[in-house]
Structure 1
Amino acid sequence: MLLTAKLRTHLRRNAATSERGEVNHRPVVKFFLPGTSAIWLFTELAADDDTLFGVCDLGHGTPELGYASLAEIQSLRGPNRLLVERDRSFQSTKPLSEYAAEARRHGRIVA
């Protein structure tokens, strides 16, 4: 399971806060696809329980801020059919905008 109930609640709360005004949340969760360079950092989950917002890096050197589908991420398969995993040790240390700026400078998410 990529998102626990606690993480979903935190992500949804961030989304609700963002709808009321501009907020620069710290990422709540980091996903990665083993055997690849794909990494995602997310701050929000929409009410549809599928649309996530954050920095997305598919490993092609062009990370970007944007939206992603949780269902699509869960359907991805890496080498040897490995599934996307949540980095359980991830602790965000700065707001999403700083991760995004750093990712653009380096051509990849550094977290």
Structure 2
Amino acid sequence: RRCLDCPRIIPTGSYRGRCRDCLRARDQARGTPTDRGYGATVLPSPLGTMTYAAAKSAYQAMLDDGAELHCACGCGDLVDGTTRSSWHLGHDDERTKIVGPMKPSCN
């Protein structure tokens, strides 16, 4: 399988279908999380009004305490709260409201 951005051969199942160099370049071009609206901006969420990082921490604490949270997309599946990177914090299409934890495949 080839990288989506260059002719390099990559293993099947590579993250986002790109080689490490192209993935790094793509992430740098996207900007920082703050540039993309995940920084100090305060947003409404099911847990109250808070920053994206505070909401992510609050949901992770709930998962660490054994809470079973369902994917906010509505698929009904449970969110895997093993690590902070095993789930995403979803938002609406306009990025004006946090909707809750989501599986990476649904976000």
Tell me the TM-score normalised to structure 2 length: 0.30
Higher RCO, 1 vs 2 (CA within 8 Å, ≥6 residues apart)? 1
Q: Which has more strand, going by share of residues?
A: 1
| The structure with more radius of gyration | 2
Tell me the TM-score normalised to structure 1 length: 0.29
